[in-house]
Chains A and B, each alone.
Chain A
């Protein structure tokens, strides 16, 4: 079990994260928050790129700093922003990363081939990465995170730059992996975690806002999300969430604590929760 115990992270006078306490067991955790709430800071601390100012992060009761290599052996990390060695091919890069991860040569070559096929890069495995698109580079990044068959996968915005087909492929990979490992992924694309996350972690004001299942998170807004044809006046106090196209025309989706008979109550989704919780910050 991975535990984050009362972790605070400060940069001089700025508090990036305050008193974060979380526990992670096998399954997929979706980390949801707008920019600047501390998602990447938390991911970096879990990946040992940064150390907490206060508190500690433990793996099975032992501080991850003390575990050192033993902990990172279990880790697969995909950062939010990353680069590559321009003159390397994906195969060469993965071979280099496999060595850094301590994988034996023969095993690594087999694993690299398997992963290149999984992320649909086997056709370009020996081409220089400087010719790759953003989506292709992202897939190389995902492959390197999976190289050592990690016990914990920490993915920071993993679907950035991927087209819808690639995002579906990615979700399927994660779904297959999640039974016997911890997967923590942060994203702005709500649909990515809506279908695969076992738990949703939301950060607000640099603190944990909630850490619950999708049903529990959406259940908070049950009976409070409505739709009404665009142009219709809404006399009750409300927050407009979005507009959406329906067969009957363009509808306005809104949040209201009060019931309004002329509006249709709809089942809340994760995007509704995101827009409602962070709506005043937009």
Chain B
């Protein structure tokens, strides 16, 4: 434990991390000041207690008709994938019936500006926080392991009593430091956001309100209802989103530590992480154009795709998923794989032929 705390102390003394977190905070505060019109309207509605009434849409909505856009042969060239997509939209019908029973569509939410409010919180603020944490964890993990190589203190460290086992302490130290920095960033950013945006009347709104919708631009731009797999209030949806974000952050933390232990220099490690983070985004754009269905759907099983779609989580997610709650399963599987992976890599590192 003492070795771990020593490493945490080293990381917390690093001024560059403080500068990075400060810049992220500035960006997040800037985001709070976007959408002034929408924010003013939300705050006005909160003060005046205005509750616009939604309209019934789920009583006549057919999920098969909704999904037919995604599982026609023109779009997916594989019959197996088509079958899975069809099955997803058939099972969505049960969710639509549940939402109809609960009158989720009638939920006022934020009236005509609901989609903008949803965007402001999930597509901008939470997505920014997620990406900032991902980048920060990458930098911190690389620094944790390569600082000894940079400072040329690796021979001292690895020939000491603690030796190569210091890698385990560095792993936990990077986790603790990441938690401290990321938690502070998220808490401060969201505190400022909710100080600016008055959500007091919105927390019990249903996410599947008829006022809420998704703009799907995967093929052509079209608008469809925000159909969640189960009924979520905004509060529940927000908490679940934060939990999924936490899962992604932990999985990414394990991945960056694995990469840092395997490669021999920080530049190579950085390039590999950039590739893992960014290449799936390009895949999402290029692979459908090249009609490569299987590679495309494998691409949707990456953490990057899950991060990209954060404002759609716990919904049908159109072309980005093949089954219900795929984003949750992707994160869980990544967590399990990374836990096994880091254990294997630590053992490899302790037996590696050459160190310093």
Task: Say yes or no: is B13 at the interface (Cβ < 8 Å to chain A).
Answer: yes
- Expressed in whole angstroms, the Cα–Cα distance for A73 and B252 within the complex equals 35
- Expressed in whole angstroms, the Cα–Cα distance for A155 and B151 within the complex equals 20
Q: Please tell me if the beta carbons of B2 and A82 are within 8 angstroms of each other in the complex.
A: no
Q: Please tell me if the beta carbons of B162 and A102 are within 8 angstroms of each other in the complex.
A: yes
Task: Say yes or no: is A178 at the interface (Cβ < 8 Å to chain B).
Answer: no
Contact of A79 among B10, B150, B155, B160 (CB under 8 A): B155
Given known A-B contacts A82-B152, A96-B6, A100-B162, A50 and B353 have beta carbons under 8 A apart:
yes
Q: A83-91, A217-225, A237-245: which one contacts chain B?
A: A83-91
- Contact residues of A between 100 and 152, Cβ < 8 Å to B: 100-102, 144, 148
Q: Per-residue 0/1 for A209-250: is the Cβ within 8 Å of any B Cβ (1 yes, 0 no)?
A: 000000000000000000000000000000000000000000
Task: Say yes or no: is B356 at the interface (Cβ < 8 Å to chain A).
Answer: yes
Task: Count contacts on A: residues with CB < 8 A to the other chain.
Answer: 28
Task: Say yes or no: is B332 at the interface (Cβ < 8 Å to chain A).
Answer: no
Q: Please tell me if the beta carbons of B151 and A83 are within 8 angstroms of each other in the complex.
A: yes
Q: Please tell me if the beta carbons of B13 and A87 are within 8 angstroms of each other in the complex.
A: yes
Q: A41-49, A193-201, A258-266, A271-279: which one contacts chain B?
A: A41-49
Task: Say yes or no: is A160 at the interface (Cβ < 8 Å to chain B).
Answer: no
Task: Say yes or no: is A75 at the interface (Cβ < 8 Å to chain B).
Answer: yes
Q: Please tell me if the beta carbons of B163 and A72 are within 8 angstroms of each other in the complex.
A: yes
Given known A-B contacts A79-B155, A82-B155, A101 and B160 have beta carbons under 8 A apart:
yes
With a cutoff of 8 Å between Cβ atoms, the chain B residues found around residue A51 in the complex are 353
Task: Say yes or no: is B60 at the interface (Cβ < 8 Å to chain A).
Answer: no
A-B contact count (CB 8 A): 73
With a cutoff of 8 Å between Cβ atoms, the chain B residues found around residue A49 in the complex are 155, 158-159, 354-356
With a cutoff of 8 Å between Cβ atoms, the chain A residues found around residue B355 in the complex are 49-50
With a cutoff of 8 Å between Cβ atoms, the chain A residues found around residue B356 in the complex are 44, 49, 79
Which of under 10, 10 to 19, 20 to 34, or 35 or more describes the interface residues of B? 20 to 34
With a cutoff of 8 Å between Cβ atoms, the chain B residues found around residue A68 in the complex are 163
Task: Say yes or no: is A255 at the interface (Cβ < 8 Å to chain B).
Answer: no
- Closest B-chain residue to A53, C-beta based? B353
Q: Please tell me if the beta carbons of B155 and A73 are within 8 angstroms of each other in the complex.
A: no
With a cutoff of 8 Å between Cβ atoms, the chain B residues found around residue A99 in the complex are 2-3, 6
Task: Say yes or no: is A97 at the interface (Cβ < 8 Å to chain B).
Answer: yes
Shortest distance between the CB of A271 and any CB in chain B (Å): 29
Task: Say yes or no: is A77 at the interface (Cβ < 8 Å to chain B).
Answer: yes
Q: Please tell me if the beta carbons of B354 and A72 are within 8 angstroms of each other in the complex.
A: no
Given known A-B contacts A82-B152, A82-B153, A84-B153, A48 and B159 have beta carbons under 8 A apart:
yes
Contact of B155 among A47, A101, A102 (CB under 8 A): A47
- Closest B-chain residue to A98, C-beta based? B160
Task: Say yes or no: is B166 at the interface (Cβ < 8 Å to chain A).
Answer: yes
Shortest distance between the CB of A159 and any CB in chain B (Å): 18
Main SS class of interface, B: helix
Task: Say yes or no: is B156 at the interface (Cβ < 8 Å to chain A).
Answer: yes
Contact of B152 among A69, A72, A81 (CB under 8 A): A81
Q: Please tell me if the beta carbons of A77 and B155 are within 8 angstroms of each other in the complex.
A: yes
With a cutoff of 8 Å between Cβ atoms, the chain A residues found around residue B2 in the complex are 99
- Expressed in whole angstroms, the Cα–Cα distance for A100 and B47 within the complex equals 59
Given known A-B contacts A79-B155, A84-B153, A99-B6, A69 and B353 have beta carbons under 8 A apart:
no
- Expressed in whole angstroms, the Cα–Cα distance for A49 and B160 within the complex equals 10
Q: Please tell me if the beta carbons of B160 and A72 are within 8 angstroms of each other in the complex.
A: yes
Task: Say yes or no: is B157 at the interface (Cβ < 8 Å to chain A).
Answer: yes
- Closest B-chain residue to A105, C-beta based? B2
- Expressed in whole angstroms, the Cα–Cα distance for A68 and B6 within the complex equals 21
- Closest A-chain residue to B158, C-beta based? A49
Q: Please tell me if the beta carbons of A79 and B163 are within 8 angstroms of each other in the complex.
A: no
Q: Please tell me if the beta carbons of A97 and B156 are within 8 angstroms of each other in the complex.
A: yes
With a cutoff of 8 Å between Cβ atoms, the chain B residues found around residue A48 in the complex are 158-159, 163
Q: Please tell me if the beta carbons of A79 and B6 are within 8 angstroms of each other in the complex.
A: no
Task: Say yes or no: is B74 at the interface (Cβ < 8 Å to chain A).
Answer: no
- Expressed in whole angstroms, the Cα–Cα distance for A49 and B156 within the complex equals 10
Task: Say yes or no: is B161 at the interface (Cβ < 8 Å to chain A).
Answer: yes
With a cutoff of 8 Å between Cβ atoms, the chain B residues found around residue A77 in the complex are 155-156, 159
- Expressed in whole angstroms, the Cα–Cα distance for A174 and B153 within the complex equals 23
Among A44, A68, A72, A100, chain B packs the most CB atoms within 10 A around the CB of A100
- Expressed in whole angstroms, the Cα–Cα distance for A97 and B355 within the complex equals 18
Q: Per-residue 0/1 for B314-356: is the Cβ within 8 Å of any A Cβ (1 yes, 0 no)?
A: 0000000000000000000000000000000000000001111
With a cutoff of 8 Å between Cβ atoms, the chain A residues found around residue B160 in the complex are 72, 97, 100-101
Among B155, B160, B353, chain A packs the most CB atoms within 10 A around the CB of B160
* 6 A-B pairs with the lowest CB-CB distances in the bound complex, closest first: A83-B152, A79-B155, A100-B160, A77-B159, A47-B159, A102-B161
Beyond A48-B159, A82-B152, 6 additional contacts (C-beta under 8 Å) are A47-B159, A69-B165, A87-B13, A100-B156, A100-B166, A102-B161
**A interface residue numbers (CB < 8 A to B):** 44, 47-51, 68-69, 72-73, 75, 77, 79, 81-87, 96-97, 99-102, 144, 148
A-B pairs with beta carbons under 8 Å apart, 30 shown:
A44-B155, A44-B356, A47-B159, A48-B159, A48-B163, A49-B159, A49-B355, A49-B356, A50-B355, A51-B353, A68-B163, A69-B162, A69-B163, A72-B161, A72-B163, A73-B161, A75-B159, A77-B159, A79-B356, A83-B153, A84-B151, A84-B152, A84-B153, A97-B156, A99-B2, A99-B6, A100-B6, A100-B156, A100-B162, A102-B162
**B interface residue numbers (CB < 8 A to A):** 2-3, 6, 10, 13, 150-153, 155-163, 165-166, 353-356
